[in-house]
């Protein structure tokens, strides 16, 4: 008897025992769909965290001034006036700080923006063209600041997409004049969105206005000191080298020997990254565990149906043996039956899983990434479970003497 003939016999049995076949297929399909979806959810969460971390910039240092003391009240970090453009200039020096690629001085203030009859309050950042590169942002319309704008104190502004949607409902913002602190500024560009608007980190990065630092300092909110200096290391791995260079240079500039008395603080996004990564790891472990349990439950279901089906078919096995089937052919028939059921169930599970990954994110608001490896693993596990628990009892039954098998009830 050929394999093809055995396959035909197997297919016939699958067709004939409809309920049993349907139950097996269902068990496998649910297991695989569940694994695909939960793994996908975990992967999606991990991807989202890593993209948000990327948006924050893993090679960035933020230098803020030290605390200020007014009438004996110390006001905390960032309130001092100790950072100036001189510091920023010094950090840009390639000899002093070879591991720093970009330096962007920032003066920042929350301002009311007006356009015609609408208004909106958003942070206004006075900075230099280097900001775009340091933040890894891009401009979707118009252009960004250039050095000429900074040198000439030009009254121009670049808006984040969040600001555009608040101020201009459907009107092209390019070339329009907005008023900031009663100074009329011309909109010359719009930033590209920092990421999917679902994340709060991206939303805050889209809700800001950028102007030349000179314009800000002299015409919008007069100040001589900087709110912060944004420093980008050449790469994430050079972050600590950049940190030390910046620290040493600023200490030298301020003439302070004891780091405890330094008039500035350097912070990085590393600690935030570590927290986010560990949270996402916990989440993925949880989801992976659920996926494993789903697979186990599905496997037990398949196992039960297979065991039952072989038990109730021992007479059939006995009859087939009496009519001339060898034990090997009996095993082969059950093997192929289990393989057919496993393949159908697996294919169905993958289809449901993929449909789920497409349909679910819209309804549950969580990203799902299809992981081919997890899906293949689940399919393999389902097939192994099906084959094992279909074939082992069938193999045992195939060794029964035909009369014992025929007599069983």
Which of 63, 325, 379, 387 is close enough to bind another protein by CB under 8 A? 325
The smaller minimum CB distance to another protein, of residues 127 and 398, is found at: 398
Which of 323, 362, 365, 373 is close enough to bind another protein by CB under 8 A? 323
Which of 7, 17, 251, 347 is close enough to bind another protein by CB under 8 A? 17
The smaller minimum CB distance to another protein, of residues 130 and 325, is found at: 325
The smaller minimum CB distance to another protein, of residues 18 and 71, is found at: 18
Q: Using an 8 Å Cβ cutoff, are 60 and 270 in contact?
A: no
Which of 67, 85, 315, 352 is close enough to bind another protein by CB under 8 A? 315
What are the CA-CA distances from residue 343 to residues 103, 340, 346, 378 (Å)? 58, 5, 5, 12
State the minimum distance, in angstroms, from the CB of residue 403 to another protein: 5
7 contributes a contact to another protein by CB under 8 A: no
What are the CA-CA distances from residue 85 to residues 94, 106, 217, 395 (Å)? 16, 9, 11, 83
The smaller minimum CB distance to another protein, of residues 148 and 326, is found at: 326
Residues in CB range of 296: below 8 A, 6 or more apart: none
406 contributes a contact to another protein by CB under 8 A: yes
| Distance separating alpha carbons of residues 164 and 120, to the nearest angstrom | 10
Query: What stretch of H or E contains 277?
Result: helix 270-312
396 contributes a contact to another protein by CB under 8 A: no
Which of 78, 195, 327, 377 is close enough to bind another protein by CB under 8 A? 327
322 contributes a contact to another protein by CB under 8 A: yes
Query: What stretch of H or E contains 102?
Result: strand 100-115
What are the CA-CA distances from residue 276 to residues 50, 64, 283, 287 (Å)? 8, 23, 11, 17
Q: Using an 8 Å Cβ cutoff, are 114 and 160 in contact?
A: no
56 contributes a contact to another protein by CB under 8 A: no
State the minimum distance, in angstroms, from the CB of residue 25 to another protein: 18
Size of the site for another protein (CB under 8 A): 25
What are the CA-CA distances from residue 323 to residues 107, 395, 403 (Å)? 92, 18, 12
Choices 119-127, 253-261, 369-377, 400-408; region in contact with another protein by CB under 8 A = 400-408
Strands (E) across 128-182 are located at 139-142, 156-159, 177-180
State the minimum distance, in angstroms, from the CB of residue 380 to another protein: 31
Q: Which residue, 371, 304, 392, 271, is CA-closest to 37?
A: 371
Which of 16, 19, 73, 260 is close enough to bind another protein by CB under 8 A? 16
401 contributes a contact to another protein by CB under 8 A: yes
Three-class SS state of 269: coil
Q: Which residues ranging from 328 to 357 are in contact with another protein (CB under 8 A)?
A: 328-329
DSSP state of 185: E
Give me the residues that bind another protein (CB under 8 A), please.
1-2, 5, 9, 12-13, 16-17, 315-316, 319-329, 401-403, 406
């Amino acid at each position: 008897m050929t394999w093809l003939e055995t396959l035909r016999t197997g297919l016939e049995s699958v067709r004939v025992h409809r309920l049993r076949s349907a139950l097996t297929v269902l068990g496998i399909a649910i297991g695989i769909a569940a694994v695909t979806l939960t793994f996908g959810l975990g992967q999606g969460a991990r991807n989202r965290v890593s993209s948000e971390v990327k948006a924050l910039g893993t090679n960035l240092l933020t230098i803020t001034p030290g605390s200020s003391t007014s009438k004996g009240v110390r006001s905390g970090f960032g309130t001092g006036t100790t950072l100036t453009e001189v510091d920023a200039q010094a950090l840009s020096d390639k000899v002093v700080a070879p591991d720093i690629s970009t330096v962007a001085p920032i003066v920042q203030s929350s301002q009311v923006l007006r356009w015609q009859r609408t208004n909106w309050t958003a942070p206004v950042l006075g900075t230099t063209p280097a900001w775009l590169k340091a933040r890894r942002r891009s401009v979707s319309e118009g252009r960004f600041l250039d050095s000429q704008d900074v040198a000439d104190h030009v009254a121009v502004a670049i808006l984040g997409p969040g600001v555009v949607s608040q101020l201009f409902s459907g009107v092209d913002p390019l070339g329009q004049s907005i008023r900031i602190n009663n100074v009329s500024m011309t909109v010359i560009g719009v930033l590209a969105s920092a990421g999917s608007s679902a994340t709060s980190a991206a939303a805050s990065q889209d809700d800001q206005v950028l102007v030349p630092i000179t314009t800000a300092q002299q015409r919008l909110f007069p100040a001589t000191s900087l709110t912060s200096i944004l420093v980008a290391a050449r790469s994430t791995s050079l972050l600590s080298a950049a940190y030390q260079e910046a620290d040493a240079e600023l200490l030298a500039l301020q003439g302070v020997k004891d780091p405890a008395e330094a008039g500035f603080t350097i912070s990085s996004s590393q600690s935030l990254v570590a927290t986010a990564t560990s949270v996402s790891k916990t989440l993925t472990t949880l989801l992976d565990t659920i996926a494993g349990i789903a697979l186990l439950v599905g496997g037990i279901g398949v196992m039960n149906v297979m065991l039952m089906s072989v038990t109730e078919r021992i007479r059939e096995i006995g009859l087939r043996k009496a009519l001339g089937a060898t034990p090997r052919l009996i095993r082969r028939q059950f093997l192929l039956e289990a393989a057919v059921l496993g393949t159908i169930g697996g294919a169905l599970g993958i289809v449901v899983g993929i449909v789920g990954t497409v349909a679910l994110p819209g309804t549950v608001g969580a990203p799902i990434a299809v992981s081919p490896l997890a899906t293949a693993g689940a399919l393999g596990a389902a097939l192994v479970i099906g084959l094992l628990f279909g074939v082992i009892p069938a193999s045992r039954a195939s060794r029964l003497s035909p009369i014992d098998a025929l007599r069983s009830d």
